[in-house]
């Protein structure tokens, strides 16, 4: 199945830029470059409710409720980025779009990133 024309145009522009790949950059440089691209997604739609939560004193989550409907289905969302890139802010607009399109409450998890936290630290339950 071919890519959507906008997706193909984006990938073609990335290839034409001759910029180094994410894997060729130091993690902090790749994170800055990745975060610098979030403007391409806009701010995302307005939500009925958005709330940041902290579980186990350190696991951050952002909750996106698209409406005031009780008992909405829930999606637990772990952002992309190869366990090295991304956070709650870089995927905020995407989660807003997902919430509206799906009619679900989105729980976006801000897991710890490698290489600062090697496997399995990102998914390990913090000790109390």
Domain edges within the chain: 22-110
Residue with tokens 């959507």: 4
What is the predicted pLDDT for the residue at 128?
A: 47
CA 49 from chain center: how many Å? 18
Contact (Cβ atoms closer than 8 angstroms) between residue 31 and residue 85: yes
pLDDT single digits (tens) 73-123: 999 999 988 889 999 999 999 999 999 999 999 999 999 899 998 887 766
Biggest CA-to-CA distance, the chain: 49
pLDDT of residue 119: 82
């Amino acid at each position: 199945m071919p890519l959507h024309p906008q997706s193909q145009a984006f990938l073609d522009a990335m290839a034409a830029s001759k910029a180094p790949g994410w894997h060729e950059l130091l993690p902090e440089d790749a994170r800055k470059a990745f975060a610098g691209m979030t403007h391409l997604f806009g701010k995302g739609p307005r939500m009925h409710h958005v709330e940041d939560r902290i579980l186990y004193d350190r696991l951050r989550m952002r909750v996106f409720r698209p409406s005031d409907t009780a008992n909405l289905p829930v999606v637990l969302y772990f952002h992309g980025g190869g366990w090295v890139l991304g956070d709650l802010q870089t995927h905020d607009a995407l989660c807003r779009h997902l919430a509206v399109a799906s009619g679900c409450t989105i729980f976006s998890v801000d897991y710890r990133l490698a290489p600062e936290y090697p496997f399995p630290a990102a998914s390990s339950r913090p000790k109390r």
